[in-house]
Amino acid sequence: MTPLVKRQARIAAVYAVVALVCLGILIVRAGSFPFFTWLLFTVVFVALEFNAVEVNDRMLQSSGLMVLLTAGTVFAISYETTAALGMASMAALGPLVPADIRERRWFQPVANFGQMVVSATVAGLLLDWWLAGSDTLELPGLLLRVSLAGAVASLVYTGMNIVMVRYAVRYVYGDRTLLPWSGLHILLPSQVVMGLVGGLLGAAFNEVQKTAVIVLILIVYMIAHLSLFSYSQLREAHQAALRGFVKALEARDLYTRGHTERVAYFAQLIGEELHFTGTQLERLRWACLIHDLGKLAIPGELLSKPQLTAEEFDQMRQAARKVEAILAEVDFLRPMVSIAGVHYLDLEEFDASNWSLEASIVATADAFDALTSTRRYRMAMSQQEAFQELRSDSTGRFYPEVIDALERALERTGEVYGATSPTRARIQEGQGARLG
Amino acid sequence: MARRIIWRAVVAGSIALALATSVLVVAGSEVPPIRAVLAALAVGAGSMIPPAVSSRNRLTLAIAVGAALPIVLAEGGLDVVATMAVFLLGCVLLAAAEFVRRGSIRGALVYAARQFLGFSGFVCVFAAVRSLVPSSLGASGWDELGAFVAGGLAWIAVDIALWSATASTDGRISPRFVALSGLRDLNVFITLIATGGLFGMMYGAIGWWALPVALIPYSFAHGAFRRFQETKSTYKQTIRALAQIPEVAGLNLSGHSDRTATLAVAMAEDMGLTPEEVEDVEFAALMHDIGHITLNDPTVAEHGWTREDLARWGAEIIAGAPSLDRIAAYVRRQYEPYRNPGEESDPSVSMVSRIIKTASAYDAHRMGEGLSQLEALERLHQGAAYEYDPEVVASLRRVLDSGVTVNA
C-alpha cells in the first residue's frame, strides 16, 4: 500500500465508522417511522444525486439538497421528530455516483457516505429539536418558523460537509490541492435559499396532510432537474464542438498544432492562481478557444510568410476583422470576443484603454506559448528567456501580475516549456509574438 | 368588403356569445362570483407567462391556472359546466392578450379555442375519474392525483391533435412534424398541470399560502427550461458563425450556408421528417461547406480537388466534435448522386444528405450563377432521379411555391 492509499483508507474508515454509529443509534432509538413517505423522498433524492448536474453557478445545482430538507421538515413536524433518522438514511444512499462506479473508485464514495450521513444527522437533530411541537402553531407563524429552521439546517448541513471534505483532502493529498474547494463559501447564499424553500414546502405539507401532494412536488422537481441535466450536457456539447472544430482546423498547420489547447491551459493556470471564480474561468476558456479563429480566414500563403508587405498585412487584418464580426453576432460569445482580441494581430491594433485583466491573461498565455514553441521563422526560446521577453515588453499588454501568476503556477506544477538550452532567437518586433 | 363585414360580425358575435353564456352559467351556479372573476383574470394573466419550449407551440401558465380550477371552484361539489364557463371567460381575456401580442384576430381566436377545448377535455375526464374512484382513497389525495393524471393526459392529447390540425393549414408543414414536435414539450406541459394541481390540492387547507408554495418548484423548472432553450439557440448561433468563416474568407458564396439551411429546413418540415431529423438537417446544412476552409491551404489549390474531397474535409472537421458525428456522416455523403445510371439508389444515403445536396445546388444555381427561380428549378428537374432525389426536388418546388423567402 502506498502512503496515499493508506491515508485514504484511514480517512474513509473513520468517516464510515462514525456514520454507521450515527445510523445505529438513530435506528435503535427510533419509534414509528413513515416508511412510505421516506421511500418517496429517497427515490427522488437518489435519482437527483445520481445525475448530479455540473453548472458553474451553483444556485440550481442543489436540487438534491432541497429534497433532503423538504423531507427533513416533513419528518420533523408531521411524523413526530423523525428527521434525523429520515435524513441520515436518505443521505446514506446518496453517494452512489455513476462515475465512481464506472471507474471503480472506492475512496470518494466511502468518504462521501460518511460525511453526508454525519452532516445529515446533525442537521436532522437540529430540525427535530427546533420544530418539536410546532404542528400546533397557526399558519403564518408556522411557515416562518419552519422556513427559518430549514435555512439554518441547510447551512449546518453544508458547513459540516465542507469542513469534512476539506479535512479529508488536506489529510490525504496535502495542502496544495485544496484550491478547487476554496470557493465553497460562494455556495452559502444558495444553500440558505434551498433551506427556506425546503422548509416552506415541508410546512405546507404538514397543513394539507395529503401524501399525493408530495408526489406532485417531486414530479416538478424531477422534471426541472432533468431539464437542467440536459442543459448541462448541451453546454458541454457546445464547448466540445468548438474545441473539436478548432483542433481540426489547426491540424492544417504543423507548427501551430495544439496551440489553442495550450493557450487555454496557461490561461486556466493564471486564472486559478489569481483566484478566479468558476464563471470567470469558463469565460477565459471560451475566449482562448476563439482567440485564433481570425486566422482561419487568412490565406494560407500569407500565414507562412516571414515578412509581409503593408498591403498583405492589411488584407490579413480585414479577414480577421470579418471573423470577429461574425463571432460577435453570437450573443453568448460577444464578451469573449473582446477579451480574446480575435482581430488583434499586431501592436498597431493594441488599444490600452480597451484592455482588461482577462484580455491580458489571454494575450500573455498566447505570447508565452508562441515564444516557447518553434515556428517556421524561428526556434523556440527557453522558458526563462520567454519570461524575460514578456517582462521587457513596454506596451503594457502583459500585466506584471499576470506574468508573475503564470510563473508561480508553472513552478507549482513543475512543468517546463520551451527550449531546454537558451537560444539567441528574438521575436520579431510587432508581429512575431502574435502571429505564432 | 362584404366578406370582411360578415367576418367581423362573426367574430364579434362569437365573443359576445361566449361572454354571455359564461356569465349566465356562472351566475346560475353555486360558484361565488368573485372567485369566478378572479379565476378568469388569473387565466388571462397566466397566458402572458410562457415557459421556454422546444416547439413553436405556446404553452403558458394559463394551463396551470386551468388545472387548479376543478378543485378551487368545487366547494359544493364539482360543477363541470360552471367550471368550463369560468375558463371560457378567462379565454376571452386570453384571446385579447394573444391578439395584442401577435396582431392577428384569427390566430388569437384559434389559439383561444384550442385552449378552451383542451381544458374541456381535461375537466370532463377529471370529473369522470373522480366519480369512478372510490372515496376511500380520498384521505391522502390519491383520488385527486389520479384524476389530474388522467385529465392532464386528455388535455395534452386534445391540444396536440388540434395544434397539428391548425398549424399546417397553410399546407407547408406536415402535421406529423407538428405533432411530434408538440410531444417534445411533454415535460413543460406536465410541469404546468402538476403546478396547477399542487395549488388546487393545497388551496383548501392553507388558502392563498398555496400560491408561493406551488410557484417555488415551478420557478425552479421555469429557470431550467429557459436555460436549456437559451443554450440550444446559442449552440446553433455558434455553429452558424463558424460555418460562415469560409464565406468571409472569400472561399465560398457569401450567405450560402444560411440560405441553404433555411431552404433545407423548410423542405424537411414539408416532407414530414421528425423534429430531431429537422434539427440535424439544419446543422448539416449550416456546416455542409465548412470543408471549403481547406482551400485556404496553398498546397490544396495546387493539387486540385473534387466535390468528394470537399465533403470529406468538411466531415473531418465536423467529426472533431464528438457530439456532431452524426452530422459529419451526413455531410460526408452529400456529394453522392441519387443513383447512377442502371443502378438502384443507395438506401444508405440519408434523406438528410439528399435534402442538403438539393438545397445547396438550388442556391448555387440561383445565387452563384444568377439564374431565376424557374431556371434553377428547371436545372434540378433535369437532374432529378439521377443527381437529385425526385421526392426532394418535388418538395423544394412545393416549398418555393408556398413562398418561403430566402434572404439574398
Residue A282 lies in a domain: yes
CA distance A220 to chain B (A): 5
Residue in B237, B293, B323 closest to A240 by CB = B323
Q: Of A34, A37, A48, A43, give the one whose Cα is nearest residue A81.
A: A34
Residues A185 and A45 in one domain: yes
Q: What percent of chain B has pLDDT over 90?
A: 41
Task: Report whether pLDDT(B199) > 90.
Answer: yes
**By CA distance, what is B140's nearest residue in A?**
A210
CA distance A94 to chain B (A): 21
Using a CB-CB cut-off of 8 Å, the residues of chain A touching B224 are 60, 224-225, 227-228, 231
Residue A71 lies in a domain: yes
Residues A70 and A172 in one domain: yes
Q: What is the pLDDT of residue A427?
A: 39
CA distance A253 to chain B (A): 9
Task: Report whether pLDDT(B47) > 90.
Answer: yes
Residue in B145, B191, B241 closest to A220 by CB = B191
Contact (Cβ atoms closer than 8 angstroms) between residue A80 and residue A32: yes
**Mean predicted confidence (pLDDT) in A400-406:** 91
**By CA distance, what is B302's nearest residue in A?**
A301
State phi, psi for B388 to the nearest 5 degrees: -115, 150
Q: What is the pLDDT of residue B171?
A: 59
Which DSSP helix (H) or strand (E) runs through A425? none
Cα B242 from chain centre: 26
Largest CA distance in chain A: 88
Residue in B209, B234, B318 closest to A204 by CB = B209
* Residue range B350-368, pLDDT digits in tens: 899 999 999 999 999 988 8
Is the Cβ pair B190, A219 closer than 8 Å? yes
Residue A200 lies in a domain: yes
Is the Cβ pair B228, A301 closer than 8 Å? no
Tally of domains in chain A = 2
Residues A185 and A258 in one domain: no
Contact (Cβ atoms closer than 8 angstroms) between residue A316 and residue A342: no
Using a CB-CB cut-off of 8 Å, the residues of chain B touching A287 are none
Domains in chain B (CATH in brackets) are: 2-221 (1.10.1760), 244-401 (1.10.3210.10)
Q: What is the pLDDT of residue A63?
A: 74
Residues A154 and A225 in one domain: yes
Residue in A238, A247, A293 closest to B235 by CB = A238
Q: How far is Cα A335 from Cα A321, in angstroms, rounded to an integer? A: 16
Residues A190 and A320 in one domain: no
Q: What is the pLDDT of residue A185?
A: 65
**Radius of gyration, alpha carbons of chain A:** 27
Contact (Cβ atoms closer than 8 angstroms) between residue B174 and residue B159: no
3-state secondary structure of A394: coil
Using a CB-CB cut-off of 8 Å, the residues of chain B touching A139 are 206-207, 209
* Residue range A234-249, pLDDT digits in tens: 888 888 888 887 877 6
Is the Cβ pair B294, A226 closer than 8 Å? no
Residue A422 lies in a domain: yes
pLDDT, mean over chain A: 80
Task: Report whether pLDDT(B347) > 70.
Answer: yes
* Residue range A116-142, pLDDT digits in tens: 899 999 999 999 888 887 777 777 788
**By CA distance, what is A250's nearest residue in B?**
B317
**By CA distance, what is B212's nearest residue in A?**
A200
Domain CATH number, residue A359? 1.10.3210.10
Q: What is the pLDDT of residue B408?
A: 41
* Residue range B26-42, pLDDT digits in tens: 888 888 888 899 999 99
Domain that holds residue A318: 251-435
Confidence of residue B206 (pLDDT cuts 50, 70, 90): confident
Among residues A207, A233, A259, the one where a domain terminates is: A233
**By CA distance, what is A317's nearest residue in B?**
B249
CA distance B32 to chain A (A): 23
Is the Cβ pair B205, A208 closer than 8 Å? yes
What's the Cα-to-Cα distance from B96 to each of A313, B64, B90, B104, B106, rounded to whole Å? 59, 19, 10, 10, 11
Is the Cβ pair A220, B202 closer than 8 Å? no
Is the Cβ pair A231, B324 closer than 8 Å? no
Using a CB-CB cut-off of 8 Å, the residues of chain A touching B198 are 213, 216-217, 220
Q: Of B390, B204, B402, B236, give the one whose Cα is nearest residue A213.
A: B204
Using a CB-CB cut-off of 8 Å, the residues of chain B touching A138 are none
Residues A255 and A203 in one domain: no
Confidence of residue B159 (pLDDT cuts 50, 70, 90): very high
Confidence of residue A60 (pLDDT cuts 50, 70, 90): very low
Q: What is the pLDDT of residue B346?
A: 78
CA distance A79 to chain B (A): 15
CA distance B43 to chain A (A): 21
Residues A267 and A174 in one domain: no
Contact partners, residue A116, CB within 8 Å, separation at least 6:
A19, A91, A92, A94, A95, A161
CA distance B95 to chain A (A): 28
HSE-CB for A263 with a 13 A CA cutoff: 31
Q: How far is Cα B333 from Cα A29, in angstroms, rounded to an integer? A: 69
* Residue range A24-46, pLDDT digits in tens: 988 888 777 888 888 988 988 88
Is the Cβ pair A220, B220 closer than 8 Å? yes
**By CA distance, what is B148's nearest residue in A?**
A216
Residues A219 and A190 in one domain: yes
Residue in B141, B317, B319 closest to A249 by CB = B317
Using a CB-CB cut-off of 8 Å, the residues of chain B touching A332 are 234, 237-238
Residues A149 and A260 in one domain: no
Among residues A171, A199, A233, the one where a domain terminates is: A233
Is the Cβ pair A297, B249 closer than 8 Å? yes
**By CA distance, what is A60's nearest residue in B?**
B220
Using a CB-CB cut-off of 8 Å, the residues of chain B touching A207 are 202, 205-206
Is the Cβ pair B242, A242 closer than 8 Å? yes
Q: What is the pLDDT of residue B38?
A: 92
* Residue range B246-286, pLDDT digits in tens: 888 888 888 899 999 999 999 998 898 999 999 999 999 99
Residue in B194, B205, B212 closest to A216 by CB = B194
Q: What is the pLDDT of residue A176?
A: 58
Residue A330 lies in a domain: yes
Is the Cβ pair A298, B249 closer than 8 Å? yes
Cβ atoms within 10 A of the Cβ of A80, count?
15
Is the Cβ pair A247, B145 closer than 8 Å? no
Task: Report whether pLDDT(A436) > 50.
Answer: no
Residue A240 lies in a domain: no
Residues A225 and A280 in one domain: no
C-alpha cell at B210: 398555496
Is the Cβ pair B140, A215 closer than 8 Å? no
Q: How far is Cα B178 from Cα B182, in angstroms, rounded to an integer? A: 6
pLDDT, mean over chain B: 87
Residue in A197, A212, A223 closest to B187 by CB = A223
Residue A241 lies in a domain: no
Residue A242 lies in a domain: no
**By CA distance, what is B243's nearest residue in A?**
A326
Task: Report whether pLDDT(A187) > 80.
Answer: no
Is the Cβ pair A329, B237 closer than 8 Å? yes
Is the Cβ pair B221, A243 closer than 8 Å? no
Is the Cβ pair B234, A329 closer than 8 Å? no
Q: What is the pLDDT of residue B185?
A: 92
Q: What is the pLDDT of residue A428?
A: 38
Task: Report whether pLDDT(A214) > 50.
Answer: yes
Residues A107 and A155 in one domain: yes
Residue in B142, B242, B249 closest to A245 by CB = B242
Q: What percent of chain A has pLDDT over 90?
A: 9
Task: Report whether pLDDT(B227) > 70.
Answer: yes
* Residue range A261-291, pLDDT digits in tens: 899 999 999 998 888 877 888 889 889 988 8
What's the Cα-to-Cα distance from A114 to each of A21, A108, A121, A175, B183, rounded to whole Å? 10, 10, 11, 22, 43
Among residues A233, A265, A289, the one where a domain terminates is: A233
Residues A255 and A192 in one domain: no
Least confident of A280-284, A386-390, B400-404: B400-404
Give the sign of the dihedral formed by CA B327, CA B329, CA B334, CA B338. Answer: negative
